[in-house]
Structure 1
Amino acid sequence: MKTRVMDRSGTPITELGFGAAGIGNLFRSATNTEAQAAVNAAWSQGVRYYDTAPHYGAGLSERRLGLALHEKPRDELFLSTKVGRLLRPLEKNAPLEDAGFVGAAPFKRHYDYTYDGVMRAFEDSLQRLGVTDIDMLLMHDLDVFTQGDKLSGLFRTAMESGFRAMSELRDQGVVKAIGLGVNEWQACDRALDEADFDCFMVANCFTLLENGITENFTARCSQKEVSLIAAAPFNSGILAKGAAGAGHYFYDAAPPEVIDKVIGLEKVCSEYGVPLPAAAIQFPLLYPCVKSVVIGMTSDARIQQNVGWYEHAIPAEFWQALMDRNYIRPVTIG
């Protein structure tokens, strides 16, 4: 699998990344054995980038990923996790806080973007993962999608307090790159005005359906040597399943205007013999500032399918057709 290089840290990262929310039981339960098998299957396909977070299964994803990667060579592995939530044991007989994760671990999530909170979250993640350092550390869900009207206060705390902790961890060498992991690229644009971040992971907003990020922000990242990771390239499923497949859009049912746009994309794909999911995966990689595309991987079959889409040859004429029909903005091909 091809690799790219993170601009500031100089660390290599595979163009396809393993999103570990699934092995934290996102939407469906998986066993420890299934989680181990998924990680091994991705590794056998050449995937060397693995992303997780304390939020995923309330620590379950980090524990499973750490165990699965325990005997893999650390110098071949690119690992990212997130801060912004602390996990506290549930009181006896208290209901599980699933947050979309089936059978989550018995911990309560608590937002904390302070200096002390970030340091504590980082140390806890190291223990769950069984490692001594992280290649990329991201402030998680610092966006309107997650925080609503609480964002303003949390953002200020994160920039004035939490960032200081992340910067110190980077200076100590236990973290190679720091940034945000969010659902809205606008939060990253604002954060660049506030602090010296190296990278950003953007979910659901660097896609064939949602690509306003390419109007100005990708150029700004290239100018500042800030690396991007594009997560959730299928917009929660609809770009994988297609207009007739009842795939979700932003974790909910797709509205009619989105379905109409997907139908249009499918028409162009049919003209050029390109599977829609292949175009969805490869689109962000047209931009040099994008270093990897992160996809949920929970089974050998799905991993092979994702890798197949990633490797599918797409002619330059296809991308030009998408530009001509205003599905994507002009971009240099090749």
Structure 2
Amino acid sequence: MSIIRQRTFDRGDLTISELGFGGAGIGNLFRPISNAQAQSAIDCAWQQGVRYFDTAPHYGSGLSERRLGLAVHELPRQQLLLSSKVGRLLSPIANTSHADGECYMQAAPFQRIYDYSYDGVMRSFEDSLQRMGVSQIDILYMHDIGRLTHSSVHEAHFTTAMEGGHKAMVALREQGLVKAIGLGVNEWEVCNEALDHADFDCFMVANCFTLLNNSITEHFTDRCRSRQISLVVAAPFNSGVLAKGSAGAGHYFYGDTPDAVIQQVRALEEVCQAFHIPLQAAAIQFPLLYSCVKTVVVGMTHAERIEQNLSWYHQPIPAEFWDTLVQQGHIRAFG
């Protein structure tokens, strides 16, 4: 078994492995996999020392939660951390399509309905418990509030989330059904906005704590440290481009990669080549340079990729490498 270091949340007495299992892939993000492949991926990650597993109703319209729940049923519950999300309810539909329009292939036949109300969050949580076959979830995130997702209706959803959904999450924590509550979003700015209205234990920030997008480190990481809020960093490869590199045509924010981003990646690759460091290793390890970051969540759908992720996680990286990225303006100087 690989040795993965652990960190402790600043609240809630939660210990979490520095590398986490992202459940979007086992929900058939971009490509379908079988139930057996999903089970094998989770088993392999566990054997390699991963102890944090994240999922959401959104991932394959419940498919990821069902697969994860079945896979972890045989594992010692007290040794693993589970997280899922609220904010979307699933309603059955007659779905004959192989794609559901949300980047998930052969998703389960359910339509997603946004609901950040008190009752909606309670129902979403109970539905997740049923799909996963568990009696509690360690970390519960409110999923995808923010302008990036909701555009002109953000204000209405945000108000409902802060006045209703957040109260439901607090109630679930007080009842001992969850240990920590937070937001799970693709834009850190909405976390900053939410802290003006409510208190949270943690935030999962995806695609916005990366070598390509790291304005989060200007002020928000300092605010998290001062408020004892832990960060969970997801999508360190920006949905793929930092994993496949400039020549690989990987996804960027779940879509095609713009030419300007390709140029950024090439500049990062030049520094990596000079230090003989894989770009992917730098992408995984960069967020962990910050004490408020407790884990980095990556997609894991087969044994070869899991082992590769572990290799990148363990890759030695000298301080001079990070200094060079600071000097070239790719990242900011560490506080």
* Counterpart residue type for residue 206 of structure 2: A
Aligned to 1:174: 177
Deviation at 1:132, TM superposition (A): 0.9
Match of 1:80 among 56, 59, 83: 83
Equivalent residue number for residue 48 of structure 2: 45
Greater displacement, 269-278 / 252-261? 252-261
Take 2:279 and 2:231, find their aligned partners in 1: how far apart are those partners? 22
Match of 2:73 in 1: 70
Distance 1:294 1:94, change over 3 A: closer
Give the number of equivalent residue pairs.
332
2:278 aligned to which of 258, 275, 279: 275
The TM-score, its normalising length taken from structure 2, stands at: 0.97
Code of the aligned partner of 2:5: K
Amino acid at match of 2:251: H
**Structure 1 pair 268/92, CA: closer, same or farther in 2 (3 Å)?**
closer
Answer whether contact 2:210 2:237 (CA < 8 A) is retained. Answer: yes
The change in CA–CA distance for 1:238 and 1:168 in structure 2 (over 3 A counts) is same
Q: Distance in 1 between the 2:280 and 2:99 partners? A: 34
Match of 2:298 among 292, 295, 313: 295
CA 1:95–1:36: 2 relative to 1, 3 Å: closer
**Which residue number in structure 2 is paired with residue 141 of structure 1?**
144
Shift of 1:252: 2.1
Q: Which residue in the other structure is 1:57 paired with?
A: 60
Q: Name the SS for the 1:205 alignment partner.
A: coil
Stretches of structure 1 lacking an aligned partner (at least 5 in a row): none
Q: Find the aligned partners of 1:298 and 1:96 in 2 and give their Cα distance.
A: 18
2:197 aligns with one of 177, 180, 194: 194
- What does the per-residue CA deviation read over 1:173-200, in whole Å, with 9 as the maximum and x for residues that have no partner? 1110101000000000001111011100
CA distances 1:26-81 after superposition (whole Å, capped 9, x unpaired): 11111110000000010011001000000111111000000000010011001100
| 2:13 aligns with one of 10, 15, 27 | 10
In structure 2, how many angstroms separate the alpha carbons of the residues matched to 1:7 and 1:129? 27
List gaps (5 residues or longer) in structure 2. Answer: none
Q: 1:36 aligns with which of 39, 62, 69?
A: 39
Q: Distance in 1 between matches of 2:252 and 2:115?
A: 29
List per-residue Cα deviations over 1:103-160 (Å, max 9, x = no partner). Answer: 1111111110000000000001011111111111000010222111111100000000
| Alpha-carbon distance change, 95 to 309 in structure 1, aligned in 2, over 3 angstroms | closer
CA contact (8 A) 2:84 2:137 kept: yes
TM-score w.r.t. the length of structure 1 is: 0.97
What is the identity percentage for the equivalent residue pairs of Structure 1 and Structure 2?
Answer: 61
2:278 counterpart letter in structure 1: P
Q: 1:122 to 1:314 in 2, by over 3 A?
A: same
Q: Would you identify which runs of 4 or more consecutive aligned residues in structure 1 move more than 4 Å?
A: 91-96
The CA distance in 2 between the partners of 1:92 and 1:311, in whole Å, is 43
* CA distance, structure 2, for counterparts of residue 263 and residue 195 of structure 1: 40
Q: 1:318 to 1:53 in 2, by over 3 A?
A: same
1:26 counterpart residue number: 29
Q: Which moved more, 1:90-99 or 1:129-138?
A: 90-99
2:227 alignment counterpart: 224
Any idea what SS the aligned residue of 1:230 has? strand
Check if 1:152 corresponds to 2:155.
yes
Amino acid across the alignment from 1:55: H
Residue 309 of structure 1 and its aligned partner are, at CA, apart by 0.3
- CA distance, structure 2, for counterparts of residue 306 and residue 236 of structure 1: 14
CA distance in 1, matches of 2:95, 2:275: 58
Q: Distance in 2 between the 1:78 and 1:93 partners?
A: 35
Aligned amino acid, residue 129 of structure 1: M
Instruction: For residue 93 of structure 1, report the CA deviation from its aligned partner.
Output: 7.0
Give the aligned partner of residue 313 of structure 2. 310
Label 1:95 to 1:280 Cα distance change in 2 as closer, same or farther (>3 A). closer
Say if 1:98 and 1:104, in contact at 8 Å, map to a contact too: no
> Does the 8 Å contact 1:96/1:106 carry over to 2?
no
